[in-house]
Amino acid sequence: MVVAYKDYERVGQEFRELFIQYGGLKPGMSMLDIGCGTGRMAVPLTEYLSGHGAYWGFDSGKKRVQWCRDHIGAKFANFHFEHSDVYSKYYNPAGKLQPGDYTFPYENEKFDFVILISVFTHMLPEAMLHYMKEITRVLKPGGRLFATYSILKDDQFRIIGAGKNALDFRYPIQTGFTIDANDPESSIAYQEDYLKQIFGQHKLEIVHHLRQGDWSHKTNFLSRQDILVAEKASPIRKVK
């Protein structure tokens, strides 16, 4: 398997800085990369995470995971990669498990930091809700989730079909919207109020709501997609 490096390193380095600046990632943290692909996020993190920190990543693409093991895990003992045999229309069409049935192979409250880059933008609502549940389970209290979405606000609905957005989410699917009714997973968006509701139900407090993706008509952006950073609520201690 060959990895194209044209934007691979640049994008990974840009996100590493976003993880640090907006997510609060520290060198000694344990982190999980959901949908790690060919290690685009992992490679620059090898220069940042200390020996006290650790990275775990999983992906449905078996060849992608093997590439990461051979080229990253073999060199860095604190970087670990797992293959998840989960169905993916594009990367693992023969997967044995549906995303909504997949249990992350990690114990409760293992991670300080969880990232999903361009995952929920291709995940149907039912699967997204299940992943949110699993994320909450494996996050430590006070741990953070850094996820990218396509987020629809009122101003996006007003210009649907006007050709102003790079992605035209005009087709409703359950609680989301897609650009292609025949291939909904090609690109999926969620309404802002719905996401706030889901995060609240999973006891995740949004600490940074960076509605700055260049997919929309906005001109002030950080990345291709919109970014949400949320923190898992810590249990309330009873005062004796």
* pLDDT at res. 152: 85
Q: What is the mean pLDDT of residues 82-106?
A: 94
* pLDDT at res. 170: 84
Give the tens place of pLDDT for each residue, 11-21. Answer: 899 999 999 99
Q: What is the mean pLDDT of residues 67-76?
A: 97
- Average pLDDT value over all residues in the chain: 88
Look at residue 195 and tell me whether its pLDDT is greater than 80. yes
Largest CA distance in the chain: 60
Look at residue 2 and tell me whether its pLDDT is greater than 50. no
Q: Which residue is listed with tokens 């490096």?
A: 5
Task: Give dist(CA 211, CA 192) in Å, integer.
Answer: 10
Task: Give dist(CA 157, CA 12) in Å, integer.
Answer: 31
Task: Give dist(CA 180, CA 234) in Å, integer.
Answer: 40
- What is the 8-class DSSP label of residue 112? E
Give the tens place of pLDDT for each residue, 156-168. Answer: 555 555 555 667 7
Q: What is the mean pLDDT of residues 64-84?
A: 97
* pLDDT at res. 155: 57
Task: Give dist(CA 180, CA 168) in Å, integer.
Answer: 9
* Strands 151-152 and 171-173, bridge-based pairing: unpaired
Give the tens place of pLDDT for each residue, 132-151. Answer: 999 999 999 999 999 999 88
Q: What is the mean pLDDT of residues 125-135?
A: 96
Helix-helix angle 125-138:192-201, to 10 degrees:
40
Q: What is the mean pLDDT of residues 215-220?
A: 53
Within 13 Å and on the Cβ side, how many CA atoms surround 152?
Answer: 23
Q: What is the mean pLDDT of residues 85-101?
A: 93
Q: What is the mean pLDDT of residues 99-107?
A: 96
Tokens of 69: 């093991």
- What is the 8-class DSSP label of residue 236? P
Rounded to 10 degrees, the C-alpha dihedral 84/77/118/91 comes to -40
Look at residue 216 and tell me whether its pLDDT is greater than 90. no
* pLDDT at res. 238: 44
Indicate if the alpha-carbon torsion angle 176, 180, 181, 186 is positive or negative: negative
User: CB–CB of 4/40 below 8 Å?
Assistant: no
Percent of the chain with pLDDT over 90: 70
3-state secondary structure (DSSP) of residue 22: helix
* pLDDT at res. 240: 42
Q: Domains of the chain by range and CATH?
A: 8-151+189-232 (3.40.50.150)
